[in-house]
Amino acid sequence: MPEPVLFNTLGRQLAPLDPVEPDLVRIYTCGPTVYNEVHIGNLRTFLFEDLLRRSLRHLGYRVVQVMNLTDVDDKTIQGAHRAGLSLADYTEPFIQSFWRDQDTLHMERPEHFPRATEHIPEIIELIARLIEREFAYESDGSVFFSIARDPDYGKLSGFDLAQVRRGERVANDEYGKDDVRDFALWKAVKPGEPAWDSPWGPGRPGWHVECSAMSMKYLGPTFDLHCGGVDLIFPHHENEIAQSESATGLPFVRHWVHSEHLIVDGQKMSKSLGNQHTLKDLLDRGYTARAVRYLFLSVHYRQKLNFTFESLEGAAGALRRVDEMRFRLAHAQEGGEPDARLAEAAGRLKADFTAALADDLNAAAALAALFVFVKEVNVAIEERRIGTGDRDRVAAALADADQVLDVLDPAAWPDAAAPADDDAAEDAVAEIERLVQARQDARKRRDFAEGDRIRDELAARGIVLEDTPQGTRWKRR
């Protein structure tokens, strides 16, 4: 197996994966704040993390992944207050819809998905340790992290503290800080807000400290990978490092991996532009979750993903090419010696696919390897080289790649093609094959006018023919 290399935001360079335990990768991923339906920008990050865990397993590692659910912060508290609900009643439907989206897109569940509200004791313990080590101080029932005590601060983001001047105006809720740059670990209760008891009086945790406490509880003081969208690098992840390393005196995370933004039609997603789509919006428009998954996997995680409806159609088209190959293979004549070229193509797919994933999760290159294989199989079908066992060999090669991609098997996607649609797609392929055969028959009879007529009919349907010594190949334009 090739040794995986991933871009490390800490140090800003490609670096070999270097897990604490050689064959086990411990991953922490910042989960959703459960105050609304997640949009496709969030889903891009979660799909990248699904690709990451599946790729690592494909490369021979065991994986333990933690994804937290932020169920207490300003947004959830405000939302619950406005709705007149308890925090738990308010967040529960959003948690459920989050899991529904995850399932719809075939994302694997992390091994642990802790909620902040269920880890208040661990959070309090971490804050107490930071006070004891003099990295944090209490003020009017709140606790703040003292950035001046942490010379390392800024090492992840390159953030220059000198840029933030002391004495700048302090936000209301952070009243009482010694230094404007300090951030809250514990926030004293305000009227009408949910609160937990603590050594500093009733209050609630800050967002950043939730992730430090929960990641170290499940993964240990030093673990392998920490992921999220690039928007979390500062201040969230910078603050996580500050809290965790100040509390333990140990390196917190070996490898920081961040996925780029998703933009829509070249523009930033925003409520005001009306382009903040949810998965449900796309499904309501008739697109399939399968195409969404394919599209999101096909763009390298460190590149901006420019979402357009045309790109989603392109993804559906790419999947159709795989489905058609499967269909033709299922109906091809099989017999005789297994085909050596096909066996070689299957071996090359496996090697190239794996190497691409090990190379900083280059899913685009992995998909390119897949389509080279699809083409090879189509050629083998057209040249009638499908020997005994070749069908199984092709199916096994696709299934192996699909352990990571999980988009190649249409039968696994009930929403992707209702049975009726599936039949229609198969009928369409059968009709094309019938016409290609009829044209060949006409040409054998030297009825070239009829042959040309059929060629034009196929061209009108977007089918391009290529005559070779072994027979006629067809493909979609």
Using the contact rule CB under 5 A, the part of the chain among 35-43, 100-108, 207-215, 352-360 near Zn ion is: 207-215
Per CB under 5 A, 214 contacts Zn ion: no
Closer by beta carbon to Zn ion, 232 or else 367? 232
Using the contact rule CB under 5 A, the part of the chain among 4-12, 98-106, 133-141, 204-212 near Zn ion is: 204-212
Buried b (16+ CB within 10 A) or exposed e, 417-448: beeeeeeebbeebeebeebbeebbebbeeeee
- List CB contacts of 178: < 8 A, sequence separation 6 or more: 137, 139, 144, 146
Closer by beta carbon to Zn ion, 50 or else 138? 50
Per CB under 5 A, 211 contacts Zn ion: yes
Closer by beta carbon to Zn ion, 241 or else 315? 241
Q: Is the alpha carbon torsion for 288, 290, 292, 298 positive or negative?
A: negative
Angstrom distance (rounded) from CA 365 to CA 6: 15
First-residue to last-residue Cα distance in the chain: 37
Angstrom distance (rounded) from CA 161 to CA 318: 48
Closest listed residue to residue 408, CA positions, set 419, 418, 397: 397
360, with CB counted inside 10 A (0-12, 13-18, 19+), is middle
Applying CB under 5 A, what is the total number of residues that bind Zn ion? Answer: 2
- Output the six-digit token pair for 283: 């499904």
> Min. distance of Cβ 398 from Zn ion in angstroms?
36
Using the contact rule CB under 5 A, the part of the chain among 25-33, 154-162, 258-266, 386-394 near Zn ion is: 25-33
Closer by beta carbon to Zn ion, 207 or else 474? 207
Buried b (16+ CB within 10 A) or exposed e, 218-236: bbeebbbbbbbbbebbebb
On whether the CB atoms of residues 242 and 126 are closer than 8 A, the answer is no
> Min. distance of Cβ 231 from Zn ion in angstroms?
11
Closer by beta carbon to Zn ion, 137 or else 218? 218
Closer by beta carbon to Zn ion, 233 or else 291? 233
13, with CB counted inside 10 A (0-12, 13-18, 19+), is exposed
> Min. distance of Cβ 199 from Zn ion in angstroms?
24
Closer by beta carbon to Zn ion, 47 or else 289? 47
Closer by beta carbon to Zn ion, 43 or else 319? 43
> Min. distance of Cβ 126 from Zn ion in angstroms?
14
> Min. distance of Cβ 233 from Zn ion in angstroms?
11
Taking residues 26 to 45 in sequence order and writing x for each that binds Zn ion by CB under 5 A, - otherwise, the string is ----x---------------
> Min. distance of Cβ 264 from Zn ion in angstroms?
25
Using the contact rule CB under 5 A, the part of the chain among 203-211, 267-275, 280-288, 367-375 near Zn ion is: 203-211
> Min. distance of Cβ 39 from Zn ion in angstroms?
18
> Min. distance of Cβ 30 from Zn ion in angstroms?
3
Closest listed residue to residue 18, CA positions, set 261, 225, 184: 225
Per CB under 5 A, 465 contacts Zn ion: no
Closer by beta carbon to Zn ion, 232 or else 386? 232
Taking residues 161 to 190 in sequence order and writing x for each that binds Zn ion by CB under 5 A, - otherwise, the string is ------------------------------
Angstrom distance (rounded) from CA 40 to CA 309: 13
108, with CB counted inside 10 A (0-12, 13-18, 19+), is middle
> Min. distance of Cβ 271 from Zn ion in angstroms?
23
Residue count of the chain: 477
Angstrom distance (rounded) from CA 337 to CA 344: 14
Closest listed residue to residue 309, CA positions, set 290, 341, 338, 287: 287
DSSP secondary structure letter of residue 181? T
Using the contact rule CB under 5 A, the part of the chain among 11-19, 24-32, 143-151, 295-303 near Zn ion is: 24-32
Closer by beta carbon to Zn ion, 211 or else 315? 211
Q: What is the C-alpha radius of gyration for the chain, rounded to an integer number of angstroms?
A: 27
Span 260-289, contacts to Zn ion by CB under 5 A: none
On whether the CB atoms of residues 462 and 476 are closer than 8 A, the answer is yes
Closer by beta carbon to Zn ion, 233 or else 363? 233
Strand order in the sheet with 24-29: 62-67, 24-29, 223-229, 253-259
Closest listed residue to residue 471, CA positions, set 378, 371, 343: 378
Using the contact rule CB under 5 A, the part of the chain among 206-214, 352-360, 404-412, 469-477 near Zn ion is: 206-214
> Min. distance of Cβ 186 from Zn ion in angstroms?
17
What residues are paired with 183 via a beta bridge?
Answer: 145
> Min. distance of Cβ 227 from Zn ion in angstroms?
10
Closer by beta carbon to Zn ion, 211 or else 279? 211
Using the contact rule CB under 5 A, the part of the chain among 126-134, 166-174, 209-217, 274-282 near Zn ion is: 209-217
> Min. distance of Cβ 207 from Zn ion in angstroms?
7
Using the contact rule CB under 5 A, the part of the chain among 176-184, 210-218, 282-290, 403-411 near Zn ion is: 210-218
- What residues make contact with Zn ion under the rule CB under 5 A? 30, 211
